[in-house]
Amino acid sequence: MDGRSPAQKRYGITAGATEYGWETQHARFDYKKEPNESNRFGWVVEIDPFNPLSLPKKRTALGRFKHESAAWHLTRDKRVVVYMGDDQANDYVYKFVSDQPYVEGNPAANRQLLDSGKLYVARFDNGATRGDFMGTGEWLLLDKQANPLLRADPDFPNQAAVLVHARLAADKVGATKMDRPEWVAVHPDTGEVYCTMTNNAQRTTSNDANPREKNVYGQIVRWREAGGDAAATRFQWDLFVLAGNPTVPGHPGTPQAGSANVHADNTFNSPDGLAFDRFGRLWIQTDGNYSNTGHFAHQGNNQMLAADPKTREIRRFLVGPRECEVTGFAFTPDHRTMFVNIQHPGETGRGNSHWPDGGQALPRSATLIVTKNDGGVIGT
């Protein structure tokens, strides 16, 4: 026996040496000596950028898992909703709904909104026709008292245990295991929610929301809350895009080619970063395989794409340097300047990249500033 509890195994605590060897430098990172240490990590932390004297606050009501992003929206009665993905193969999509409403112009009242509310996890059900990549779903409440499955389970003695072990609670209530949920984005006009499923080579059983076993390409799932209210507990969903590669022999006509809006000029894998601009354009960034061979032939380096949610048209916007991840972006208020992060170019350390300085310089992460030659709005 290696001494790991079921919760430690579920959260990925390894029995042997860790990848970075932190436990060799400090006893707090040795789970045998400090079994509670891992429970301190995996939380959303809120920072108030308008108060330089404020302290970061850990918002435990949002649950503990491998948070990749957090996208917010408001319910019809102005309560705050936070959508979140758990960046792990075969894990879940969550949402939090605050108990109290957002009050315009009252920052003092709003600072504690994320401390009290309900945490849900998503179940994506197949549609009436198997293989049509759409269906309905339900938000399952992760509440010790209100959910009878959790109320009857002694492994969750209180709500704190539910939040600390949110993955285990989600297992218990029957949530849908997804293909590594990462970024979430909410359409500024319609309230539709989009979530990247980056990839999942570990998948052995498919469903409509995750339709491929050993999924190396990923997909983007979107859903519409019942009645257009973010507080709803039911939703309709579909796949906005099934990433793939139609240029590989044998792929056309199969799910490996991707959905109809993927073609030779925009083929990509592993959608990761995701956000809307204020005009409703959806921006997609990738963090996947850049080998440009085999399944990934003709896809090149990681990239950034722009999509039209109405027509589903997707166009390649930029391609990053070798061995990088394209991740994170922002606009100036007039949307005439875009900032895009290029992360860990040349990550293998084999001299395959010298970006951005060229020559024989060591590669460095950097932020790009993008403008149009005519000074116009980016994306027009």
- Domain ranges in the chain? 1-41, 57-314
Output Rg (C-alpha) for the chain, integer angstroms: 21
CA–CA gap between residue 208 and residue 25 (Å, rounded): 45
Going edge to edge, which strands form the sheet with 314-319?
Answer: 271-276, 282-286, 303-307, 314-319
pLDDT at 370: 97
pTM of the model: 0.96
pLDDT at 29: 93
Q: Residue 112: how many CA atoms within 13 Å on its side-chain side?
A: 4
Name the pairing type of β-strands 67-74 and 79-86: antiparallel
pLDDT at 295: 97
pLDDT at 1: 64
Got the DSSP string for 90-137?
Answer: EE-EEEEEEEEE--TT-HHHHTTGGGSEEEEEEEE---SSTTSSEEEE
310: amino acid identity, one letter:
K
Q: Say how many C-beta atoms besides its own lie within 10 A of residue 299's C-beta.
A: 27
- Six-digit token pair at 349? 């350390």
pLDDT at 129: 75
Q: Which residues of the chain have pLDDT under 50?
A: none
Q: Say how many C-beta atoms besides its own lie within 10 A of residue 303's C-beta.
A: 22
Got the DSSP string for 160-193?
Answer: HHHHHTHHHHHHHHTPPPEE-EEEEEE-TTT--E
CA–CA gap between residue 304 and residue 286 (Å, rounded): 7
pLDDT at 131: 76
